[in-house]
Structure 1
Amino acid sequence: MDRRKFFTKAGAVGAGAVAASTGLAMPAIAQSLPKVSWRLASSFPPGLDTIYGGGETLAKYVSEASDGNFTIDVFAAGELVPPFEVVDPVSEGTIEMAHTVGYYFSGKDVAWAAMAAIPFSLNARGMSAWYYYGGGLDITNEFLSSYNIVGFPCGNTAAQMGGWFRKEINTVADLQGLKMRVGFAGTILTKLGVIPQTLPGGEIYNALEKGTIDAAEWVGPYDDEKLGFQKVAPYYYYPGWWEGGPTVHALINKGKFEELPPAYQSLLKTACQATSADMLAKYDYVNPTAIKKLVAAGAQLRPFSPEIMEASFKAANETYAELEASSPNFKKIWDSIKAFRKDHYLWNQIAELNYDAFMQSQQRAGTL
């Protein structure tokens, strides 16, 4: 007897027996993975390949795990809707989901910013811990439900840089009258004399070159290096205290999410969490090379002085007291983050900080 034919026939009989014994016809197994096709509107251009790529990574994970039955088509900023207008179509259900950052929508309610990144909030690991174990998912989804949206963390850049400056700034006095392209942190920097400017990424270089603005923050070394800011604003300050752990979100129409089979709901949640880990890992991989390139090209690294950091922290707390009074949603989210933040940095300064500090001293000594 041909052993190969025997085992092939035996396998076929066995599969049929299993189907018969369970009462399931073979097609029913395939039907357990229904065909679902969604559209995702990104707030990011393809040029920001790591952040924009988070949407593509999410779609890849979902498609592969569902054997191609659950597909998500990713559209770059502006292809379906303008980048900072993705919330309304998701809320209305005209598109199923978006990949974006909450602080873009702080004009609707400042709580949107708190769920993403505000000055002196948590770092990337802290935000992840707060979301998945500190009640963050429940608190933010309670807020998002009023928009008919479900949201999951779906990316993080880690702490960003403080931006590019045409001149050195050493004291708070140096900030007076400084015209700076900046996001949500402009609310705090205004208290220190900065004049916030709103500019899309494509216009920042020319504005710095012409002196229309004096400074600009963008993201971090990998994304900044592509734009050549060091040629027109050589002083590269750190840290970006306004974005210590900026959380990118997948925002999903609540009705569309609830229509999904439980297996797809679970898959989507897991894929979002995996995408967050992937984005953070990629930034940790590409930023070291990028910072070396920037310095070689003339960027001059400068830390914000303790005076500026302390003044900024004080101004942030004053601003938050005002915002808590005007937005109950912000207060609820920020109170939760603040409570978690105390213990997070209590622990963080013991083992992690000291280990990193020692290893960094070895790096500077050239012994690694």
Structure 2
Amino acid sequence: MLIACGGSSGEDATAEAAAPKKEVIRWRLQSWAPAGDRTYEAAQRFAEVVEIASDGQLLITPYTAGSVIPGGKEFDSVMSGSVEAVHGPPGWTIGYLPGAVFFTQYPGGLTSNQLEMWMKLEGRKIAQDLYDDLGVHYVGILTLSPAEVWAHSTKPLRSVADIKGWKVRLGTTALNAIFQKMGATPVFLPGGEIYESAKRGVIDGFEYINPSLNWDMGFHEVAKYMYLSPSRAPTDTQCIYVNGDTWDKLPENLKTIVTMATDQIAREYYTESVNRDVEAVQKYIDAGTIVEPVPQDIIDLLNEKSLEYFQEESAKDPNYKRIYDSAMAWKEVCERFDIK
């Protein structure tokens, strides 16, 4: 018996020694988010889950905005291969794919749950088809948020008259165009520049993500007013993009792990955000922030100008129309069956 046991152990050791070592693949992933932004923590969590699930075969090092490449240039860099992967808003890819706005937040759009379902049914396939033409693989939504804060503002918004000339930071080309139609003065800034810009008066207001994340960013210190309404952004997303050549070289098992980790964290992030938002709104009130609903005439103007903008853009670009029509068809299904 002892001899038999010893022989078995020796065979196992020999087999283990003869087994080829798995290649370790290393990626750099730059997030759109600065330090202190909870979406960056999701990028860190993503890297951890992938490492564990792949048994260390795929190691992803996350970086905050601007650490490897300039903030706001994440998509350009993943296209060129300067980094292997990025975590950022679809709205920042609109210069290359205008219809990408429908993969994230837009006025009159899908709620978080509706968007997540649509992406899994049809949206992700459309996104992958169109981003592949740009040399980038679209993995999916990593950070999925409830309705955004409509806006933080240093000035009160009582009616559409207060929108005129309002210097507002907006995160997408579509929002810039829509708010310009409304009479505002849009300003594009990466998330990491919002706090100081509001503090110095460079901007009068800004849209960012949800109450809990914005609280962590300290925005209650620089904006007296917070306006709530899902009309501007029923949800918000930041997604994982991988350089096309990098993705193509990845073994199939690791592609599956990356995709499943992305989907898992999106749902975890959303659930946690809902819970945190309830607590955060009370923190704003306790800190002296004036929390108010958006005046109805501003919402009406927003809806009017948004529809006008989307119809104009759909007439120019068949890909834009393809995405918009698909999203709106799913919205009709959701409304018919009362799916929130």
TM normalised by structure 2 equals: 0.89
CA distance in 1, matches of 2:256, 2:19: 19
The equivalent residue for 1:331 is 321
Q: 1:117 to 1:27 in 2, by over 3 A?
A: farther
Residue 332 of structure 1, CA deviation: 1.3
1:127–1:247 CA contact under 8 A, matched in 2: no
Residues 1:94 and 2:69 are matched in the alignment? no
Secondary structure at the counterpart of residue 147 of structure 1: coil
CA distance in 2, matches of 1:325, 1:187: 16
1:116 corresponds to which of 86, 104, 112: 104
CA distance in 2, matches of 1:52, 1:209: 23
Residue 147 of structure 1, CA deviation: 1.1
AA paired with 1:59? A
Q: Deviations over 1:69-106 (max 9, x none)?
A: 21111122111111211223322333211111110122
Alignment gaps of 5+ in structure 2 = none
CA distance in 1, matches of 2:105, 2:84: 24
CA distance in 2, matches of 1:296, 1:92: 47
Residue 266 of structure 1, CA deviation: 0.9
1:162–1:239 CA contact under 8 A, matched in 2: yes
The equivalent residue for 2:33 is 44
Range with bigger deviation, 36-45 or 89-98: 89-98
Residues 1:140 and 2:130 are matched in the alignment? no
Q: 1:299 to 1:29 in 2, by over 3 A?
A: farther
2:139 corresponds to which of 152, 157, 165: 152
Residues 1:85 and 2:80 are matched in the alignment? no
Aligned sequence identity (%): 25
2:178–2:305 CA contact under 8 A, matched in 1: yes
Alignment gaps of 5+ in structure 1 = 353-368
Number of matched residues?
Answer: 337
Q: 1:262 to 1:192 in 2, by over 3 A?
A: same
CA distance in 1, matches of 2:10, 2:149: 58
AA paired with 1:333? I
Task: Spell out the pairing of 1:322-361 with structure 2 (5 A cutoff).
Answer: 322-348=312-338
Q: Deviations over 1:137-187 (max 9, x none)?
A: 110111101111111222212211011223432332332222222233222
2:284–2:291 CA contact under 8 A, matched in 1: no
CA distance in 1, matches of 2:139, 2:221: 38
Residue 218 of structure 1, CA deviation: 2.2
TM normalised by structure 1 equals: 0.82
Residue 202 of structure 1, CA deviation: 4.9
1:216 corresponds to which of 203, 206, 216: 206
1:254 corresponds to which of 240, 244, 262: 244
Q: 1:93 to 1:233 in 2, by over 3 A?
A: closer
CA distance in 2, matches of 1:36, 1:228: 37
1:38–1:73 CA contact under 8 A, matched in 2: yes
The equivalent residue for 2:167 is 179
